[in-house]
Structure 1
Amino acid sequence: MTTPSTRTDVVIRTYGPGQVAPLVDTIADIWADAHPEIVDTPGAATDGLSVPALRRQVLGHVRHHQEGFTLVAAYAHSSMIGFGYAFPCTPEYWYGPELLPQIPEHVRAGRLMGLCELAVTPAWQNQGIGTRLHAALLKAINPEWASLLVRPDNTTGRALYDRLGYRYAGPYRNTPDGPEFDLLLLRIDSEPVPPDGGDR
């Protein structure tokens, strides 16, 4: 059996903001396949957790974060099977006024990458692809800190982020009446993130 670290049939490609629009439908399909617990949850659409909301989110981030916006995609046999995207951002933008005072000053002073999405289609999960996508984003953006939001009930995603070294930093809401997320934080070591290990 082939291990994740020796697979040669999965290729990671990196895209800048001007290359994202033609890929939005494909990444939206992968996101929906990877998050059935969200897509099928009553009220998810009103919470901004839907395929149309994802499309709007991606294109909005492309428009407003041109500097450093990076999309990475995993391909097997010419078909996209996973993706992730992130961009450099300020602590004020990412953490918001309520959570910002709880973030230590040395964290706020470092280069920050906001990781917005990371998803792998279910048939290809647990083969190291999520780790490779994450490593490609870190290489492209070169932050000192990475941060992301994850739903508390997303146990699969949380397990991956725990393995990558992310730690809980506090609760976060995009809007006052929106769903609560866990905000996670990762200090980037000088050593590269290993491309192997079971994950999604």
Structure 2
Amino acid sequence: MTPSTRTDVVIRTYGPGQIPPLLDTIADIWADAHPELVDTPGASTDGLSVPALRRQVLGHLKHEGFTLVAAYASGSMIGFGYAFPCTPEYWYGDLLPQIPEHVRVGRLMGLCELAVTPARQSQGIGARLHAELLKAIAPEWSSLLVRPDNTAGRGLYDRLGYKYAGPYRNEPGGPVYDLLLLQVGPTLPKLRRSDK
């Protein structure tokens, strides 16, 4: 666990073995951040429910490089995000042929979730969580799925520089998401003292 502080919010970074005790808290934050999904008919079958989130997180723990970042204020978690490095084949699925070659060969981070409790939204916490994930994983490209009707999330991703890459379905007959891409840049080697 690595802390990063600024103002009253502390960001901590966690690896896969540290996640199970946090699962209830991140599920609660996800539910608070997505009240429109909690009681929506069909949300659980579309993978947009607290039980689906729990299954998703536990299933993703097996990915090498899995990283979860959490924001805390006054000792309580107020937001989280998680991601992992992944292959283009895994992440893009049927959309892969539409992804430009230069994107497919770069180191890719799949951003799976980013949620901040409503009382702390629009305070830069989501952007800080995103920045910590980029720092921890050091990708050349980041990609995520967002519901087309998620205007708050889409606004954040637009401000972070993500661009629309195409429509995406996790499974046949499932909901259509917007697949977004962000060029982070090539991972640059650290300068040796003699290179300065």
TM-score in terms of structure 1 length? 0.89
Residue 125 of structure 2 is matched in structure 1 by 129
What is the number of equivalent residue pairs in this alignment? 183
The answer to whether structure 1 residue 88 and structure 2 residue 88 are counterparts is: no
What is aligned with 2:39? Answer: 40
Return the alpha-carbon distance in structure 2 between the equivalents of residues 159 and 41 of structure 1.
23
Partner of 2:179: 183
Q: CA deviation at 1:7?
A: 5.1
The counterpart of 1:148, out of the listed 139, 144, 147, is: 144
Q: Provide the rounded CA distance (Å) in 2 between the counterparts of 1:189 and 1:60.
A: 28
Report the CA distance between 1:189 and its aligned residue.
3.9
Give the counterpart letter for 2:88 in structure 1: P
Indicate which of 99, 103, 109 corresponds to 1:103.
99
**Residue by residue, what CA displacement relative to the aligned partner does 1:84-135 show, whole Å, maximum 9, x if unpaired?**
0000000000000x20000000000000000000000000000000000000
Q: Does 1:12 align with 2:19?
A: no
Deviations 1:142-199 (A, max 9, x none): 00000000000000000000000000000000110100100000000479xxxxxxxx
Percent of aligned pairs sharing the same letter: 84
Assess if the C-alpha contact under 8 Å between 2:25 and 2:77 holds in 1: yes
Which 4+ stretches in 1 moved above 6 angstroms? none
Instruction: Please list every run of 5 or more consecutive structure 2 residues that lacks an aligned counterpart in the other structure.
Output: 188-196
Aligned to 1:52: 51
Name the CA distance, whole Å, in 1 between partners of 2:97 and 2:21. 39
Q: Deviations over 1:19-41 (max 9, x none)?
A: 01100110000000001112232
Consecutive unaligned residues in structure 1, runs of 5 or more = 1-5, 192-200
Give the TM-score normalised by structure 2.
Answer: 0.91
Q: Deviations over 1:30-84 (max 9, x none)?
A: 0000011122322111111100000000000003x0x110000000000000000
The separation in 2 between residues aligned to 1:39 and 1:152, in whole angstroms, is 18
Counterpart CA distance in 2 for 1:94 and 1:61 is 12
Counterparts of residues 51-70 of structure 1 (less than 5 Å)? 51-63=50-62, 65=63, 67-70=64-67
Q: Residue 48 of structure 1 aligns to which amino acid in structure 2? A: G
